[in-house]
Every structure is written in structure tokens, then in C-alpha cells.
Structure 1
Amino acid sequence: MERIKLAIERAKADGGLDAGIPAPSQQDARWVPPPVANKIATAPNRPVSSPAQYRHTAVVDLDPAHLERNRVIAHQKTHLASWAFDVLRTQVLQKMDENGWRTIAVTSPSLESGKTLVSINLALSIAQQSQRTALLVDFDLRRPSVARVLGLDQPVSLNEVLNGDVDVSEAMVSPGIARLVVLPTNRAMSRASELLSSPKVSNLIGELRQRYDDRIVVFDLPPVLVADDVMAVLPHVDCVLMVVGSGVSSKAEVEEAMNRVARANLVGVVLNKDTAPAQQDYY
């Protein structure tokens, strides 16, 4: 306990905790976050270690044209499709607030369902709310793509964090969008399932969740049917969002994916790549 206090005091003396993310703000009346300090010190079955020393987060301005080409549009309120992610954000946050959830995993039954695009746009939409901050984490260790879709080209990423080479604060990136921070993965990693089920990852998830009361952490996970990676992570996150690509996954694949996440808190299912025209009577 004394080591934790000393580490926090040292971090404050060095310039504050993670200055790239705003200080916590007033939450919805239904939101009652747990005492952070007590939870760090007394969490069961979790070794006590010094918390990450958060410092200034690197800021990288993204290319608007690159984002447009990759359909990253939730931050553009004039874009005709941004409303869909705002509706998704509101539904997801209402469900999470009702249950005190702050970490959400996004997955899909099979490849090419668009779960990474949904993860990115959901995190962007959450960050548009002034009382929230969003952290997007690329946990698809087999086929990481968040950095590529966003156009991030940083030398340090989650790879180095999981290898024990750097602190997690050194791998975080602010993409020049207020209240959003990204923890990318640059390269595929071997033994992904074993890594995701390790105490190192469970401790990392706890650290990311507890650091700020207003933070929503969005984890982009691999497809459920590719391997057991998703099942390894789900016990450590609060809820899961399933993205089903229209015409991509068969009925049998969707049913099998739902069976595999049956023990998790399913916050909802997104039908992606639907070609039916949107009905917006007022706009």
C-alpha cells in the first residue's frame, strides 16, 4: 500500500497523471463508480503492483481524407451516416450506465464483418460527449488493424507493452480528437490466446478501467469463431457487443458465436453492411 501511495505522489510531482485525457467530470445520476484506490489495493486474486506512471500522451493529427476513405465518420456531425453511430452510442451507454459497466468488447462471428470499423466509430462517438472520455484498445492480436484504419504510424504500441519493454502510457496516442485516446497494436503476436488470458492482460484491463471515472474502454477483439481469444478476454470485461455483417456470416455461424459468448453480458447486436435504405423522416 505504501508503494502505491509513493508511486502516485511521484507521478503527480512529474507533471500529473495522463495529461492527454481530461480530468473526470460529473456523471449521470445513475452512475456510481467504485472507489478507485480501494479497488486497486484490495482486488481479489490480483497481485499488488505499482500503477502505470501516466505522463503526457503523444498527439498525432490524423488525415481527414484517409479517415473518409476508411469510413471513419462518427466525429463528423455533418456526415449523413454519423447519426447511426450516435444512436448506437446512446443505446450502449444507457445499458452500461444501468449496470455500472465501463469496459466493452466488440467482436463478430466471422471475418470481414466490420467489427473494427464499428469499434472505432463507437469510440469516436462516445468521445463527442463532453462528460465522457473514450479509450480504444486494439486487442485483435492476430490481425490488428486499428492503427492502419486510423492512419497511425507510431513506433511504440501494445506489442512493446505486452513484451514488457515499455509502460502502457508510452504506447498511448491521442489522435488529435478531444477526449479520445488510442492504444494500437502494430504487429500480429504469436500465442495470442495465451497472452489475452494471462494475468498481465487482466491487470492491464483493470488499470485502464480504473484510471478515470468518466472513461469508457472499447476493446476491438478478433472474431469469435477464429479462435478462443474472445472467450479468454470476456471474463475480464464488463460487456460485449456483437457485430454481424449482413450476408457475411451464416445463420449457423451467428448462432455458434452467440453460444460462445452466452456467459458474457451481451449489450446488443449490430447489423452491419445492411443495404436497406435508412428511414429518416425528419432529416
Structure 2
Amino acid sequence: MNISNILIVSPMYKELSKIIEKEVLHKTFRFIPEEELIQDDLSWADALVSFNLKADYDYSHVKWVHSLGAGVDRFLYKKDWNEDILLTRTICSFGQRIAEYCLSYILKDLQFHDVFQEQQQQKKWVQHTPKLVAGQKVLVYGTGEIGQMIAKLCSGLGIEVYGVSLSGQEKAYFKEVMMVNSHFSRLNEMNYLINTLPLTEQTDMLLDETVFTQLSNAGFINVGRGASVNDGALIQALTDNHVKFAVLDVFSKEPLPENNPLWSHPRVQITPHISAVTTPQEGAACFLDTLKNIDENKPLKNIVDTAKGY
């Protein structure tokens, strides 16, 4: 594949420019923010590098699209994809970052951080014995690279980690991996649920009342995609104490609208999609490695199966 003209569209285009243009001398680049993008830029490009394009531009003629994020749903979900276009995604420290993010909220719950904070405000001295992580049960939706890193970190602390995937294929660090349609009877055993699933037609609204009503006061953490969760069902599960708390880093619409009831729910913790931020250094490194492998006709470890959506 001959790639000469590369268009990089990103909020961090200046930082990427400083890094990439030092490393690549035999390509022509355009680094621009999305608000300055025009169709002529895409018509010029052999390759597009971006998180996503919010407007419906035509980039069907480019040879290669590289996502600066781990997810590619903004390129594929409910869209027709030209199978002649190579699609790759960024692989870097996402798994480690997300695993530590999830573990921090599990530890926060087990150590009664919120309880002690409230007692401090009320000047109450009431002892609660922190719980150990060992023996806790965590169910992870999605057993790919990110799910496996969560399982590795948690299982190393003695947590029993279970997985749910479309295939049900066993993976390292999981005590058991179940298929989507056969895991419901196990939900009431779980202390925490973590969603890492990509957004596809199979995962759209997958986590609904069918899942949440089976829980017994479990914590829920969403670091996958917002559209995988039925927000109404989640709020009802919080009301009915099927879910004890929810930590939400991703939403169907971002930024989360100010009138969304999740903002003010007392048992919902909201973070602004920061559990796995692409730094300019990591984003550039993965892109440069992928470009090098394409130029040298080497196998790509980050190629996307566009039929599956991830």
C-alpha cells in the first residue's frame, strides 16, 4: 500500500505535528483541528488519522483510516464501510489506565471512603471495618485487551474475575468466561460489574433491566461505551438497590447534557471520558509503528475486523 499524503485531524494536532514530523521525512502531512476540516483535505489524503469525524464527510476513497482511540464505533457503527479501506486503531496503555481506574473505585467502596467522608462532615466517630479485595467477585463485559488487563490486575489481588463475551471463549486471568445469553443466573453472585464492550449492533443497550434486576446490591462501572447501557434501567436499579453505585465514564451523548438526571443522582459518579486518554506521545507512537509496518508490508497487530466492529 502506497501512502504519501496523510491527514491528521485532532484537537492535539499541534502536539502530534511536533512529534511526527521529526520522525517521518518521506511523507506529506496536514495537521488540522476538526473545525478547520474541509472536503478538499479528505480528497487530497491517502490516509486519515483521527478520533472521529463528527460531520458526515466522504472519506471513502482514502486507503487507510487510523483511529487515535481504542474504539472505532464512530467510524463503523450504523455506517456502511468500504471494505477496501484499511482500518486500524490505537493500542497503548489503555488497558493499564482503565484497569487502574476501575480498581480505584472498587477500593474506594471496600474502604468506605464515602461513608467516612460523610461522617467527617457530621463529626461522627463510627467505625466500619474495611473489606478485603481478596474473594470479591467481579464480572467484566468484554474479554479483549482491556478486559484482560482488568482481569490480570484484579486477579493478582485475589479477586475472582469472570468474563462475558459474545463467543464465551476462555481467556487468561478469567476464572470463567460466559456467553451473553448464559450468564444471567450468575449475576446475583457478583460484587461488581465492569463494562468494557465496544459499541456494535450486538452490544447496543445490552445492559438493561434484564441484567440490572438480577444484581444484589452490586457496584457498576462503565468504561466501554455509553450506548451499551440503558440509562433508565440503571437509574431504576439504583432506586431498587439492585445497583449500590454507578461509576460512569462514557455516555451515549458527550458531553453529557446538563439536564440529564445522572448528574444529580447521589449514587452516581461521573467522569468526563478520562479512563483511557490518548496522550500525544502514545498516539503518535502507535501511529508511527503502524505506518512503518504498512510501508514494510508487515503484519498489523492493531487491524480492525470491520465485520465485527472491533
Length-normalised TM-score, structure 2: 0.33
Q: Which entry has the higher C-alpha Rg, 1 or 2?
A: 2
Length-normalised TM-score, structure 1: 0.36
* Structure with more contact order per residue of length (Cα contacts < 8 Å, sep ≥ 6): 1
